[in-house]
Amino acid sequence: MNTGDLITHLGRVFPDTPDHLSELQARLAAAAERDSTLDIAYRTIDSPFGPLLLAATGRGLVRVAYATEGHDTVLQGLADRISPRILRAPARLDAAARELGEYFAGTRQAFDVPLDWSLAAGFRRTVLGRLPEIGYGHTASYSAVARLAGSPRASRAVGTACATNPLPVIVPCHRVIRADGAIGAYLGGPEVKRALLTLEAAA
């Protein structure tokens, strides 16, 4: 046997075992959580609108993302803006996943999980903070939200705040529609916005 063959065999002596590696990954995520070195934990959940990415810091839920945003892109954004210490670690998202499941099933109208607002600052943060005041099953216009946020002429900025909402569904930017009743834009697509409003109207 020549050296090349031997080296090929060496590579096979310790075969890749995906199941074993995912078990090690899970153990690592749990150890990192105990060790407080895990800055951002994430998982994906199934929703009626495709997979949703949920990410949380130690302070609370920091990001919810539809697949249309590209989950890898979103995670890279979190690495750039908050910390690259990011692991798939479902346990930290258990409560958020449960509440969202209940919401999509029509049995929950408001969310209790702690939120981390790191990704929203200034006027956008102010706007998003007022959105939970639009009750479940109700809608408000961009200009009404602008008034609510204390800047009656800033309805365009309200649109921007909604378009860059880091916590869609949880922070109900889908309840903000145009003054003429048109549905308006949405990060998950207008059809998802319409479906969420239909869900809330039915419950």
Partner 1 sequence: MRGKQPFEAVVAAHGSTVLRVCRAVLGPADADDAWSETFLSALRAYPDLPADANVEAWLVTIAHRKAIDVTRAAGRRALPVAEVPEAGAAPAADSGGLDSDLAGALGALPPKQKQAIAYHYLAGLAYADVAAIVGGSADAARRAAADGIARLRRGYAAVTTAEGGSR
Of 78 and 187, CB closest to partner 1: 78
Contact between 59 and 202 (Cβ < 8 Å): no
Site map 82..111 versus partner 1, x via CB under 8 A: -xxxxxx-----------------------
The structure tokens listed for 84 are: 């690259």
C-alpha–C-alpha distance, residues 92 and 96, integer Å: 9
Question: For residue 16, what are the contacts with CB-CB under 8 A and spacing of at least 6?
Answer: none
**Residue 173 annotated in active site:** yes
With beta carbons less than 8 A apart as the criterion, state whether 38 and 88 touch.
no
Q: Which of 53, 65, 78, 134 binds partner 1 (CB under 8 A)?
A: 78
Comparing CB distances to partner 1, the nearer of 42 and 49 is: 42
Closest CA to 137 of 170, 166, 175: 175
| Residue closer to partner 1, measured from CB, 18 or 181 | 18
Angstrom distance (rounded) from CA 174 to CA 197: 7
Residue range at the interface with partner 1 (CB under 8 A); choices 56-64, 79-87, 164-172, 180-188? 79-87
Return d(Cα 136, Cα 129) in angstroms, integer. 15
Residues 3-22 contacting partner 1, CB under 8 A: 3, 5-7, 9-17, 20-21
Phi, psi of 10 (to 5 degrees): -55, -40
Q: Which is nearer to partner 1, 35 or 112 (CB)?
A: 35
Active-site residue, selected from the candidate residues 115, 173, 177, 196: 173
Positions in the binding site for partner 1 (CB under 8 A):
1, 3, 5-7, 9-17, 20-21, 24-25, 27-28, 31-32, 35, 37-38, 40, 42, 75-76, 78-80, 83-88
